[in-house]
Structure 1
Amino acid sequence: MVFNFLKPLRIFNSNFAFSKHNMITIGKFNDLQIAAKNSDGLSLSDGHREILLPYSDVPANVEIGDNITVFVFVNKDGQTIATTKKALAQVADFACLTVVDVTEDGAYLDLGIGKDVYVPTRDQKRPMQLDESYVVYLYLDESNQRMLASSRLDRFIEEEDFEIDEGDEVSLLISEKTDLGFNAIINNRYIGLLYHNELFANLKVGEQRKGWIKKIRIEGKIDLSLQPLGYSHILDTKDVLLKELRERGGKIALGDKSTPEEIYERFQISKSAFKKAIGGLYKERIITIGDHEISIVVDSLAD
């Protein structure tokens, strides 16, 4: 997505020092320099353009020439404004935001800065309800540079040329519950699926999780896991189980017939991973396995 920058308001004295500044970008955090004070607030600049930081948002003990990080947006009067309030998301982000107002034409989401983000009806996958939270994508209206949001996420995800591989650890934003499981935004760029039958934790839309790429299908679909893949994960799990056994006097009340929920509640792993780990410990003659209990061999307890 291409973002248009602000038109220059005035050029500052060339003797004034600016360094390491990017051009001012609406809907983003900007590192700007305090160039002047006026009756309404501070003038902030990237060396070419200036915007206003109202006095109500000016932190204590700042001086002309200081650098300051601000969020930049266009207010209802069409004026470009800076704020030191921390926005919950930036343009080009996927984020979970809460509806604070609903009108005939759209809904408004709380961005945390006193300026709500508008979601036109055309950008709502389903009609939004007051006080409900939705995962949306933030973008700029090219006609007026105001921030908008959309819950039609498929329009904004990348569907090819993935810069991820199977087995990679990734960040996930749970975006939607489906018949198959939960869709999740991957690294703020792609979308993948966590299958119901592989989940042993209660997930909620808007929740952020660490995950792993399980499979990238030929058609571009991505399968996800909440657990690391491969034998190295089993080795780690074996170490965790063995440490727990030794700390608990040699016994744990989980075994071959324990439920997936019981196992996940205790160790945050699937039953499959648990059985592979205890199977490995059993083959090494470190533990014995019962239906609802595993016990460490006496000799191993002394190691």
Structure 2
Amino acid sequence: MVDLGNYNELEIAREVDFGVYLTSEDGDILLPKKYLPEGAKVGDFVRVFVYRDSEDRVIATNLTPYATVGQFAGLLCKDTSSFGAFLDWGLEKDLLVPLNNQKDKMVPGRKYCVYVYLDDASDRIVGTAKINKYLQNDNIQVKEGEQVEVLVAAYTDLGYNVIINNTYLGLLYRNEVFKDLEIGDKLPAYIKTIRPDNKIDVTLRKPDADTFSEMDETSAKVMQLLEEQNGTLNLSDKSDPEDIYRVVGASKKMFKRAVGNLYKANRIEIYPDYIKLRR
């Protein structure tokens, strides 16, 4: 049985002018000519993604969707209609998010975190922004300190709601982030705390990181920047944390520690708005 909304290994059964037909237990499936791998011939097996085209026919492609059935993704809304919104998920046919699957009415040009699933009633692949019922924090299989992958799902007053390993809901605090994040961004993180109520806090910094080693790296980076910029770096303890992270790649706290150590070592001079290499 073909796995609709996912990848399938299917055999090329026959060629036609506009592509090839692939054999499946559900009948032959068209792989258009433009998606046929170079050199593929009858009898070969090809890995394809199977979904429904704009005419509701089951079809194959070698394009890579941003999410398959059972996955979350941050997708851009391209258009809306009276019955739903259409999101770009990397394929020719956009992903439909029906009106009753929207938390708030979707707006073209904005990104939304959605869960992709196969609707049993229509046998169509659709998305939903009502993602909480597809997340489970009851049986947590990750541990504090473990490295995970997170997907930015929403902005909150405290920071960002993130989806951990496509399974759990977590929180990344704003004061621990030193770069701009967007809905749909995927990045490595670490489990910081698992609370008694099974809420999970994550951090972008390894919890057991060697602070002194990290400070040495920051000090070396500051010295490198000073050498590259004729001995002057326009940053100080008054600088915005995001500016420090953008230039140095370190938190403001780590930057201040590194600058303090360099000053004590008589390597730099500190001024209100900048630091200077001591010659």
TM-score (norm 1): 0.76
- Residue 188 of structure 2 corresponds to residue 226 of structure 1: no
Structure 1 residue 28 displacement after superposition: 0.9
* 1:119-158 → structure 2 map (5 Å cutoff): 119-158=97-136
* 1:150-189 → structure 2 map (5 Å cutoff): 150-189=128-167
Q: 1:216, 1:222 within 8 Å by CA — same for their partners in 2?
A: yes
* Aligned partner of residue 245 in structure 1, secondary structure: helix
* Aligned partner of residue 265 in structure 1, secondary structure: helix
Of the candidates 236, 241, 245, which is equivalent to residue 264 of structure 1? 245
User: How far, CA to CA, are the matches of 1:77 and 1:195 in structure 2?
Assistant: 44
Structure 1 residue 277 displacement after superposition: 5.2
Of the candidates 61, 77, 95, which is equivalent to residue 83 of structure 1? 61
User: How far, CA to CA, are the matches of 1:233 and 1:35 in structure 2?
Assistant: 60
* CA pair 264-116 structure 1, distance change in 2 beyond 3 A: same
Structure 1 residue 55 displacement after superposition: 3.3
Q: 1:28, 1:72 within 8 Å by CA — same for their partners in 2?
A: yes
Structure 1 residue 275 displacement after superposition: 4.2
User: How far, CA to CA, are the matches of 1:258 and 1:112 in structure 2?
Assistant: 40
Matching residue's letter, 2:147: E
- Residue 88 of structure 2 corresponds to which residue in structure 1? 110
User: How far, CA to CA, are the matches of 1:132 and 1:61 in structure 2?
Assistant: 40
- Residue 71 of structure 1 corresponds to which residue in structure 2? 49
* Aligned partner of residue 52 in structure 1, secondary structure: strand
Structure 1 residue 38 displacement after superposition: 4.6
User: How far, CA to CA, are the matches of 1:241 and 1:280 in structure 2?
Assistant: 8
- Residue 93 of structure 1 corresponds to which residue in structure 2? 71
Name the count of aligned residue pairs. Answer: 275
User: How far, CA to CA, are the matches of 2:225 and 2:270 in structure 1?
Assistant: 19
Structure 1 window deviating more from structure 2 (44-53 vs 198-207): it is: 44-53
Alignment RMSD (CA, Å) = 3.1
Structure 1 window deviating more from structure 2 (120-129 vs 58-67): it is: 58-67
Structure 1 residue 48 displacement after superposition: 8.2
* CA pair 67-234 structure 1, distance change in 2 beyond 3 A: farther
User: How far, CA to CA, are the matches of 2:199 and 2:217 in structure 1?
Assistant: 34
* CA pair 103-244 structure 1, distance change in 2 beyond 3 A: same
Structure 1 residue 261 displacement after superposition: 3.3
User: How far, CA to CA, are the matches of 1:97 and 1:116 in structure 2?
Assistant: 10
* CA pair 203-42 structure 1, distance change in 2 beyond 3 A: same
Q: 1:234, 1:276 within 8 Å by CA — same for their partners in 2?
A: no
* Aligned partner of residue 219 in structure 1, secondary structure: coil
Consecutive unaligned residues in structure 2, runs of 5 or more:
none
- Residue 251 of structure 2 corresponds to residue 273 of structure 1: no
Structure 1 residue 280 displacement after superposition: 7.1
For residues 69-119 of structure 1, the C-alpha deviation after alignment (integer angstroms, 9 at most, x for no partner) is 211012354432111222222111111222233122211222222222111
* Aligned partner of residue 210 in structure 2, secondary structure: helix
TM-score (norm 2): 0.82
Structure 1 window deviating more from structure 2 (93-102 vs 136-145): it is: 93-102
Consecutive unaligned residues in structure 1, runs of 5 or more:
1-5, 7-23, 299-303
Q: Give the share of equivalent positions with the same residue, in percent.
A: 35
User: How far, CA to CA, are the matches of 1:132 and 1:43 in structure 2?
Assistant: 37
Q: 1:235, 1:277 within 8 Å by CA — same for their partners in 2?
A: no
User: How far, CA to CA, are the matches of 1:91 and 1:208 in structure 2?
Assistant: 18
Q: 1:101, 1:108 within 8 Å by CA — same for their partners in 2?
A: yes
Q: 1:227, 1:269 within 8 Å by CA — same for their partners in 2?
A: no
* CA pair 76-164 structure 1, distance change in 2 beyond 3 A: same
* Aligned partner of residue 272 in structure 1, secondary structure: helix
User: How far, CA to CA, are the matches of 1:231 and 1:56 in structure 2?
Assistant: 49
Q: 1:182, 1:196 within 8 Å by CA — same for their partners in 2?
A: yes
* Aligned partner of residue 264 in structure 1, secondary structure: helix
- Residue 15 of structure 1 corresponds to which residue in structure 2? none
